[in-house]
Amino acid sequence: MISDRRTSWLMIAPALALVTVLFFAPLLRVLVISVTEPSFGLGNYALLLTSASIQRTLLTTLRICVFTTAITLVLAYLVAYVLTHARPAAQRLMLLGVLLPLWMSVLVRAFAWVTLLRREGLINKALEALGLIDHPLSLMWNETGVTIGMVHYMLPLGILPLWSAMRAIDGRVVAAARGLGAGPAQAFLRIFLPLSLPGVIGAGLLVFIFSLGFFITPAILGGGKIIMVAEYIDGQIQETLRWGVGTMVASTLIATIFLLMVVLGRIVDLRTLFGAK
Amino acid sequence: MERMLQPGRSVRTLGWSVICFLLLPVLVIFPISVTDRRFLSMPQHGISFEHYANLFTSPDWLGSIGQSLVIGIVSSAIAVTAGTLCAIGCWRLSSRAGEIVRGLMLVPIVVPTIVYAIGIYRFWVDLRLLDTYTGVILVHAVTGVPYVVITVSTALAGFDQRLEQAARNLGASMPQTLWRVVLPSILPGVVSGAIFAFIQSWDELVIVLFIASRAIFTLPRRIWDGINEHLDPTMAAVAAILILLSALLLVVDLSIRRKREG
């Protein structure tokens, strides 16, 4: 039995070593740099309270993430609900429509949105051809564009956990409510919706967490005008070489995410959230 | 559940509209990639495969595709080996310690890539691994491990532990047992993990923006430069091919899963 345990640990060792040395150590280093450069102490963290540009970035990030999460949740709930009640053939088709974008490269998706949203893009051309607008709408390089791109990225990540939460709801409970005289709206609002609420909160937190550190889509669709926190960190490191500030913001971001993960872990079983699909 | 709370026609229409929104980028890329004009637009007078020809004769694009393939294949091979062994180890332990290790392995998925990128950049400066195959492959292997651990753990959850003990009792050595008893029954999970690990390397941009410069110019970096500098229809041809590749891998993964369930 003892040697058996040792074999198990030997099997775990390579991956554990890889992740510890090449993931956790560099991550720890980021935390260390944030309190040692340019000098030892919490000087960088004081900027959270004093720097207008950092506060503006954090506020922009928060606003975009809240909007993205809210819109994603509403749309994802709708799709998950239809998906749960669809016939098998329709369900397969719908699921394919959710999975294909999920599997697509984030760069390819951002590129496609650029072709659709820019001034001379397909949406403006189509609206002009229909005579609905005289001047092209500005759909990107602003928060609208960033939010559209982010909602598109986050939707599958919201739909899948919501769908698995809804599948777990016992249909007989709803049937019983209907049998006892509840109307469809009442049965939905008082039975189905409350039962699906843990799934909603879980999916919402997951989407929010992924939105917070999102880099590629906001950078492309924001065009340097809308700076979210990940792009801000990138700028601090690559352009102004202020490692202390960059790593401080990065550490703050990680701390926020871990805090949210703890909350998430209390609401749903994280393993099913990641492992189910 | 049937007939009790069926969504009405309007709800169904809304649901399918969201699916259309999700597929919109897929639907526009293909016509743009065969446009007969020199800028990003719908085809005007006819379709042309000129942009595909440009792509397949451009040494820059082909070089990047080649580099991304090498990095993706080698790094996912490392991730699959380490991740599969780790998942089996945790499963054999079936204890609190195993659970904790599995939990640790999930952390890289939720840490924003930009944060990890700046950390590993400093590391690679010290070790002189910036802008090398080794540097990029190691990083992509590490970030691929979590996906393999997840898919293999899921496959192992349905595998009876007594089968392994039976094989051992009948005199099979440990490597024999793993290779001939455990591995065949969890193979779908392993293949699934390999696909995920490959895709995450193949698509990864943020880290290579930091740790690569001239020598390593992967496909995502080439696309990133294209989007930021010259938006031309060759990009649409690249995007179209990448979408087809994702669709192909998705179908492979789905058929593996179906086989496992059925």
Q: What mean pLDDT value characterizes chain A?
A: 91
Question: Which 3-state string (H, E, C) describes B54-111?
Answer: HHHHCHHHHHHHHHHHHHHHHHHHHHHHHHHHHHHHHHHHCCHHHHHHHHHHHHHHHC
Other CB atoms within 10 A of residue A186 CB:
12
Q: Nearest-CA neighbor of B11 among A192, A154, A125?
A: A192
Res A80 pLDDT > 80: yes
Residue A277 has a pLDDT of 36
Residue B161 has a pLDDT of 84
C-beta of residue B118 within 8 angstroms of C-beta of residue B210: yes
Q: What are phi and psi of A268, to 5 degrees?
A: -130, 160
Centroid of chain to Cα B46: 35
**Whole-angstrom distance, CA of residue B7 vs CA of residue A159:** 16
Residue position matching structure tokens 């949105």: A113
Cβ B92–A4 below 8 Å, yes or no? Answer: yes
Res A241 pLDDT > 70: yes
**Whole-angstrom distance, CA of residue B238 vs CA of residue B85:** 36
Cβ of residue A242 closer than 8 Å to a chain B Cβ? no
Q: Nearest-CA neighbor of B83 among B191, B163, B185, B159?
A: B191
pLDDT category of residue A36 using cuts at 50, 70 and 90: very high
**Which residue on chain B is closest to A252 by alpha carbon?**
B115
Cβ of residue B256 closer than 8 Å to a chain A Cβ? no
Cβ B18–A114 below 8 Å, yes or no? Answer: no
CA quadruple A244, A247, A253, A257: dihedral sign = negative
**Which residue on chain B is closest to A236 by alpha carbon?**
B118
How far is A211 from chain B, CA to nearest CA, in Å? 9
Cβ A27–B153 below 8 Å, yes or no? Answer: no
Q: Nearest-CA neighbor of B153 among A270, A18, A200?
A: A270
Mutate to test the interface with B, among A4, A6, A12 (most CBs of B within 10 A): A12
Q: Nearest-CA neighbor of A27 among B107, B233, B204, B153?
A: B107
How far is B148 from chain A, CA to nearest CA, in Å? 11
Query: Average pLDDT, stretch A64-80?
Result: 97
How far is A50 from chain B, CA to nearest CA, in Å? 23
Cβ A81–B231 below 8 Å, yes or no? Answer: no
Residue B261 has a pLDDT of 64
Residues 9-28 of B with CB under 8 A from A: 11-12, 14-16, 18-19, 21-26, 28
Cβ A122–B4 below 8 Å, yes or no? Answer: no
Residue A276 has a pLDDT of 39
pLDDT tens for each residue of A39-66: 898 999 999 999 999 999 999 999 999 9
Pick from B116, B206, B236: which is nearest to A27 by CB? B116
Cβ of residue A182 closer than 8 Å to a chain B Cβ? no
Contacts of A228 in chain B (CB under 8 A): none
Ranges of chain B whose pLDDT falls below 70: 1-4, 260-262
**Which residue on chain B is closest to A83 by alpha carbon?**
B15
pLDDT tens for each residue of A82-111: 999 999 999 999 999 999 999 999 999 999
How far is A31 from chain B, CA to nearest CA, in Å? 9
List, as one string, the DSSP characters of B195-250: HHHHHHHHH--HHHHHH--SS---HHHHHHHHHHS---HHHHHHHHHHHHHHHHHH
Residue that wins the pLDDT comparison between A184 and B251: B251
Contacts of B112 in chain A (CB under 8 A): 212-215, 230, 250, 253-254, 257
Interface size A-B, in CB pairs within 8 Å, comes to 252
Residue position matching structure tokens 């709408």: A137
**Helices B96-110 + B59-93 axis angle, to 10:** 160
**Whole-angstrom distance, CA of residue A17 vs CA of residue A15:** 5
Lowest mean pLDDT of A28-42, A179-193, A239-253, B234-248, name the range: A179-193
Distances, alpha carbon A190 to alpha carbons A132, B9, B179, B247, in Å: 42, 22, 53, 40
Residue position matching structure tokens 């559209």: A148
The encoded tokens of residue B84 equal: 């599969």
The encoded tokens of residue A134 equal: 């005289």
Residues 177-236 of B with CB under 8 A from A: 199, 202-203, 205-206, 209-210, 220, 223-224, 227-228, 231, 235-236
C-beta of residue B150 within 8 angstroms of C-beta of residue B193: yes
Q: Please list, in sequence order, all residues whose beta carbon lies within 8 angstroms of the beta carbon of residue A210, skipping any fewer than 6 positions away.
A: A154, A157, B110
Residue B262 has a pLDDT of 52
pLDDT tens for each residue of A123-141: 999 999 999 998 999 999 9
Q: Nearest-CA neighbor of A244 among A29, A31, A25, A44?
A: A44
Which bin fits A87, alpha (ψ -120 to 50), beta or left (φ > 0)?
beta
Query: Average pLDDT, stretch A166-184?
Result: 87
Cβ of residue B135 closer than 8 Å to a chain A Cβ? no
Cβ A115–B29 below 8 Å, yes or no? Answer: yes
**Which residue on chain A is closest to B21 by alpha carbon?**
A152
Query: Average pLDDT, stretch A239-256?
Result: 94
Peptide bond into A38 cis (omega under 30): yes
Distances, alpha carbon A189 to alpha carbons A172, A176, A196, B60, in Å: 16, 14, 10, 57
**Whole-angstrom distance, CA of residue B223 vs CA of residue B226:** 5
pTM summary value: 0.91
The encoded tokens of residue A65 equal: 């993430």
